[in-house]
Amino acid sequence: MATTPTRTLTHRPGIIRRARRNRIAYAFIAPAVLMMLLVHVIPSVQGIYMSLLDLRQATLRQYLGAPSVGLEHYQDIITGFFSGRGGANIRGLSQATRNALWFTIWLNVGTIGLGLVLALLLNRKFRGRGLARTLILLPWVVPSFVAGLIWRFVWLQRGGLANQILVDWLGIVDQPIRWLLLENTRWALLIPAIWRSVPFTALLLLAGLQVIPQDLYEAARVDGANAWHRFRYITLPLLKPSLAITLMFGIVFNLFGFGPFNIATSMFGSTNHGKYAELVVPAIARQTFSNQLYGYGAAASVLVMTLAMVFVILWYRVFRDTLRAE
């Protein structure tokens, strides 16, 4: 898409004229631009500036006039992450980052794995297919704060559905498990998150499966390919664009968004999600609030945003050809 220098040169004198000719286009986008400026752009620019300031409860009245600390917050966070030292906040943030990486990896493995199985099962001809698809989509429609509440009671040590099934009905486990305690909270958060992400993933993958031409399978069958080969050499390669998009959603929304935050907050009943279940964005939100470290929180957010951008660029490089081949 890069324009050559000569083209830019020949176009430059026309820019104002072109802008004037497109007045109507600017009128059409104006409301959206204004809202974006108000809600995203202006506050984010201030946020980036805040990350260079010593902005705490004591200095909040000065706001952007607070004393500057340069890149100190960034330095503290980065060195803290790699050396394992630093204050309680820095250590908490490093721990939350590791939690988030663990969480994101398993979430995507679980979601894409289960989603693919469901999509393949739904992509057959059988009676009640529409009903099955509707039922499977329901967990995605349920608000995530409701999901958190449901799972709070599924995980109850006494009387929770999980322990009832494991101990009383199946008898796999002798003692009721304390799901909302220490390391177990990792799983207590991961499983509801997978439960809520699978439906949409299955839907996207199903849509991807439905456009694969059936005669490819027929031809492969005639050539003697078995089920695994047909899956490996036809389904998987042709599903790659859908898988790429699913992976993108799965990582960006869960690592950098508030979906898991809502689940965890209503599941634990507070914004403190504990050492093992706290992810990066919730950790920054909590520290910013409860310790009133506004400059530090902004710096941590900028680092998270940088990570997100690096990730998107990497993702694009890896899947560029896949997405274009369509």
What are residue 56's DSSP bridge partners? 293
Specify the residue, 9 or 85, whose C-beta has the smaller distance to another protein.
9
- Cβ proximity to another protein: between 167 and 184 the closer is 167
CB of 54 to another protein, least distance (A): 14
Q: What is the crossing angle of helices 129-141 and 88-122, to 10°?
A: 170
**Pick 85 or 309: Cβ nearer another protein:** 309
As measured in angstroms, the least distance from the Cβ of 105 to another protein is 19
In whole angstroms, the minimum distance from the beta carbon of 233 to another protein comes to 10
Q: How far is the CB of 311 from another protein (least distance, A)?
A: 9
User: Cβ closer to another protein: 164 or 184?
Assistant: 164
Nearer residue to another protein within complex by CB, 170 or 227: 227
Q: Closest approach of Cβ 302 to another protein, in Å? A: 6
Instruction: Please check whether residue 186 is in contact with residue 276, taking contact to mean a CB–CB distance below 8 angstroms.
Output: yes
Residue 132 CB, shortest distance to another protein, in Å, is: 6
3-state SS track over the chain: CCCCHHHHHHHHHHHHHHHHHCHHHHHHHHHHHHHHHHHHHHHHHHHHHHCCECCECCCCCCHHHCCECCCHHHHHHHHHHHHCCCCHHHHHHHHHHHHHHHHHHHHHHHHHHHHHHHHHHHCCCCCCHHHHHHHHHHHHHCCHHHHHHHHHHHCCCCCCHHHHHHHHHCCCCCCCCCCCCCCHHHHHHHHHHHHHHHHHHHHHHHHHHHCCCHHHHHHHHHCCCCHHHHHHHHHHHHHHHHHHHHHHHHHHHHHHCCHHHHHHHHHHCCCCCHHHHCCHHHHHHHHHHHCCEHHHHHHHHHHHHHHHHHHHHHHHHHHHHHHHHC
Q: Quick one: 84 or 315, whose CB is closer to another protein?
A: 315
Contact yes or no for 126/210 (Cβ under 8 A) = no
- Judged by beta carbon, residue 80 or residue 148, the one nearer another protein is 148
Q: How far is the CB of 82 from another protein (least distance, A)?
A: 21
Nearer residue to another protein within complex by CB, 80 or 154: 154
Q: Please state the closest distance from residue 7 (CB atom) to another protein, in A.
A: 14
